[in-house]
Amino acid sequence: MVSQTLLSIVWREMLRQPWQTWLSVVGIMLGVMVIVAVDLANQSARQAFLFSAEALTGKATHQIVSISNRGIPESFYRELRLNRGMRSSAPIVTSRVESGSEILQLVGVDPLAETPFRRFGAALESTRLAEFMTQSRAAILSRITAARLGLSTGDLLNLSIGGIPIDVRIVATLAGDNASALEGLLLVDISTAQELTHRNGTLDRIDLQLETEQADQLAASLPPGLRLEIPATRTRVMAEMIEAFQTNLAAMSLLAMVVGAFLIYNTMTFSVLRRMRLFGTLRLLGVTRRTLFYLVLFEAGLLAVAGTIAGLLAGIVTAQYLVHLVTRTINDLYFVLTVTHLMIEPLILFKGAAVGLGVTLLASLAPALDAAAATPIHALQRSRLEHRVRRDSRWLALLGLMLLTAGLLLTRPTAGGLSAGFTGLFLIIGGYSLMVPLAVNLFSHLTHRLPGSSALLTRLALRGITANLSRTGLAVAALCVAVAATLGVSIMITSFRATVSEWLDYTLRGDIYVSAADSGSSSVLDPAVRLRIHSLDIVAETSGGRRLEAMSDHGPVAMLALDRASGSHRGFRFAEPPVGEVWSGFDRGELILISEPYAFRQHMKTGDMLELQTPNGAVTMRVGGIFFDYGSDRGLITLSHSLYQRLWEDGGFSTIGVFLRPGVTTTEAIGKLHKLFGDASLSLRIRANRDIREQSLAVFDRTFAITQVLRLLAIGVAFVGVLSTLMALQLERTREQAILRAMGATRGQLSRLTILQTGIMGLYAGALSLPLGWLMSEVLIEVINRRSFGWSIASQLPFTAVAEALVLACVSALLAGLYPAWRMGQVPAALALREE
């Protein structure tokens, strides 16, 4: 199809412009790298979770759990084994613990009962197993975790459980298959776990091996407050917690790839336009349209192969860093997860390769068709091409407006799901970019009329932009889309952070909050603690909250039982009008409140009925209102503490809010609280309002750290692509500028002309990126975020983000003009004017 001679022409062209070739390869590499890195990080986190869940569940077919979160009495476990003959049963106690900056999951097991379920004991020598069962505070780690913590057999591991420092001794480490599955888990004997977590006499769950008939009989005979469930159900629910988070990371990587694809299209289009004279000459020499078409695709294929291979390798390296950010976010928001090994999935590498090769070739189709469609005479006439581009820019703008409108229709609230939202976003980007060449032409004509634009260099720069619209329009569109993408993400993150900050301001009504140092749902403060706090003369009033996990007819859900102070209701803002006298009904136990994400996920509205499982059976309650909540995308149900106490038979609190009298400082009050409780304050966490707010925002910033990394990678993709396009544009004008040199222009004047023209193009791109960036942020906030998590975010347009966008566009354009400006002064005019 393509002769060896033509292939050598392509190869020489690539070598003649090494910078442009290299930048094109880097642009493709970065796009592939982002997708591969995010997918590998997500896959590694998902597989680590599944391995860990499988290792903990083992061969259990069913589990008994507590509905009330008060735990399962040990006496019931003994009844199962001795009276009911269920020998295939094993008790489990779990808790989240800390060791320095490391978060571990403490798991208490009974080694004698574990054999039918898990192979923990089988991996140990008999002497080690005896030490594990007999020594006080003996523990087992996976060999990988122990190596990461710098520990070996016999060493002490320093833990913080409930804020209290505790040491355990490592008596053994697990290697082999168990080591990978048990990464981040700390195994101790069940009695040790109960001692360390202050849960003497209670269990978190009981694992069982049951036939279907046995399970039905057991479920019917369980005492109030206990529930039989299938382990796979809980694993699926936990996996669904992180699904939306991982989907959004993948979407962010696709956004970077879309920007990259647009830049690849511009690069290949520009490459074809720059060599139209060459193609015209080849056509005159007898080269067919088909051959030219395949010639352009062959060149694109060479770039794609080089960029894709580099992108796959760079993606694997980048994923090593991203997986830690993903794991940290999951730990902050969902559950304990440790991932130290990147799992390289061949299918992900194949997908990355397919995207890199496919996107590059697809982006090259239109330029290849342009090259093939050009007649020899038209290809040799640059003025005809520019005239056609200026004429067609109106029709392109009309087509762009139609695509933009279609994108906006797909992003309506009732238009569909997440995929429709992303499709609409990409249509908006594509439609807007088609309108850019016409806008550049209009901007140039308007700028001609501004004061100061009559200077010779300014006129030349502006006319050069208009006269070369086939090139300048593409370059400005590429830079515009790239900057708009970074601006849109920046606005989204800034708006979200401001919304969360405002939510914390009105939600944290108390001056000080007291809770158990161990933040688990089983950690409860006795009501007497609240009475003692209220007795202090510096305290005006207190509120109490009990947070735990409940079971609704829609599955597990976080629940808050609130005994509110007089001003606590001001900490709730409703997403839609609540029922009349909502707080009176709430206090009487007639109404419950649900958070906005929960209402979104379960398709509920004010006035609907919700069924909750309690220790005394199922109860149905009416939803009195839907409130804003940004603490979790899982959702939250809030009910009065009196109703909770009646149904769950639990009067304890997880948190006590302290409202101080006027004139009392939080520092003074915290000191008096520590003095009031003495040594017992070690088991309490006493924090000021401002400290909780700062810690919450720190968690938010950590959560979006990976988004910021992806945003920087998108900027990198954009910058490389735009640098390639603008450098090629200026280098193509070598002959034009050589004519100016021959007419008396100095090297300094030509350098200033080049810098001025690229600066004006950067300014145009920055100005045009602002509407598109704002539009993209609205789609990210109102559509993508809404359909993923159900949150309402107040959109803001920060001045700093706008300024950064303008600076980024101008700096990118100016940097792209530095090399051509320098080169203009180095090439002799006679050499640049030579035709052959």
Angstrom CA distances, 71 to 195, 547, 572, 611, stand at 14, 15, 31, 22
Res. 304: pLDDT tops 70: yes
One-letter amino acid for residue 340 of the chain: T
Q: Do 611 and 628 form a contact (C-beta atoms < 8 A)?
A: no
320-344 average pLDDT score: 66
Q: pLDDT tens for residues 779-807?
A: 888 888 887 778 888 888 888 888 888 88
The answer for residues whose C-beta is within 8 angstroms of residue 610's C-beta and 6 or more apart is 552, 553, 554, 592, 594, 604, 620, 621, 622, 623, 637
342-347 average pLDDT score: 79
Split at pLDDT 50, 70, 90, the class of 552 is: confident
Instruction: Please tell me which of 393-402, 719-728, 744-753 the model is most confident about, judged by mean pLDDT.
Output: 393-402
Angstrom CA distances, 710 to 30, 38, 355, 565, 701, stand at 11, 9, 18, 43, 14
Largest CA distance in the chain: 107
Determine the distance from the C-alpha atom of residue 26 to the mean position of all C-alpha atoms in its chain, rounded to a whole number: 24
The answer for residues whose C-beta is within 8 angstroms of residue 607's C-beta and 6 or more apart is 579, 622, 623
One-letter amino acid for residue 610 of the chain: L
Q: d(Cα 757, Cα 726) in Å, to the nearest integer? A: 10
Res. 594: pLDDT tops 90: yes
Instruction: Please tell me which of 287-301, 356-370, 795-809 the model is most confident about, judged by mean pLDDT.
Output: 795-809
Angstrom CA distances, 182 to 66, 188, 823, stand at 25, 13, 60
Burial class of residue 95, CB neighbours in 10 A (0-12, 13-18, 19+): buried
Q: d(Cα 268, Cα 25) in Å, to the nearest integer? A: 12
Q: For residue 835, which phi and psi values (nearest 5 degrees)?
A: -80, -40
Split at pLDDT 50, 70, 90, the class of 583 is: very high
9-38 average pLDDT score: 74
Angstrom CA distances, 279 to 3, 9, 15, 264, 383, stand at 15, 11, 18, 20, 16
Res. 756: pLDDT tops 80: yes
Q: Report DSSP state, residue 86.
A: -
684-700 average pLDDT score: 83
Q: Do 304 and 28 form a contact (C-beta atoms < 8 A)?
A: yes
More confident of the two residues 501 and 474 = 501
Res. 638: pLDDT tops 90: yes
Q: pLDDT tens for residues 390-408?
A: 677 788 889 999 999 999 9
Query: In the chain, what percentage of residues exceed pLDDT 90?
Result: 9
Can you give the pLDDT at residue 391? Answer: 73
337-351 average pLDDT score: 74
Q: d(Cα 405, Cα 428) in Å, to the nearest integer? A: 8
536-564 average pLDDT score: 87
Burial class of residue 734, CB neighbours in 10 A (0-12, 13-18, 19+): middle
Can you give the pLDDT at residue 748? Answer: 77
Sole residue written with tokens 């942020």: 777
695-709 average pLDDT score: 74
Can you give the pLDDT at residue 596? Answer: 92
Q: What is the pTM of this model?
A: 0.76
The answer for residues whose C-beta is within 8 angstroms of residue 502's C-beta and 6 or more apart is 794
Burial class of residue 818, CB neighbours in 10 A (0-12, 13-18, 19+): middle
Res. 169: pLDDT tops 70: yes
More confident of the two residues 7 and 358 = 358
Split at pLDDT 50, 70, 90, the class of 541 is: very high
Q: Do 470 and 389 form a contact (C-beta atoms < 8 A)?
A: yes
Q: pLDDT tens for residues 640-685?
A: 999 999 888 888 888 999 999 998 888 888 888 888 887 766 678 8
Can you give the pLDDT at residue 836? Answer: 47
Poorest-pLDDT segment among 102-111, 302-311, 339-348, 795-804? 339-348
The answer for residues whose C-beta is within 8 angstroms of residue 121's C-beta and 6 or more apart is 111, 114, 115, 129
Q: Do 316 and 33 form a contact (C-beta atoms < 8 A)?
A: no
Q: Which residues pair with 513 in a beta bridge?
A: 657, 687
Res. 93: pLDDT tops 80: yes
Can you give the pLDDT at residue 125? Answer: 53
Q: pLDDT tens for residues 47-83?
A: 666 666 666 666 778 888 887 667 888 888 888 888 8
Can you give the pLDDT at residue 56? Answer: 63
491-519 average pLDDT score: 84
Q: For residue 375, which phi and psi values (nearest 5 degrees)?
A: -80, 155
Q: What is the sign of the dihedral through the CA atoms of 624, 625, 629 and 632? A: positive
| Average pLDDT for the chain | 79
Split at pLDDT 50, 70, 90, the class of 720 is: low
693-710 average pLDDT score: 74
Q: Do 241 and 22 form a contact (C-beta atoms < 8 A)?
A: no
Res. 419: pLDDT tops 80: no
More confident of the two residues 704 and 141 = 141
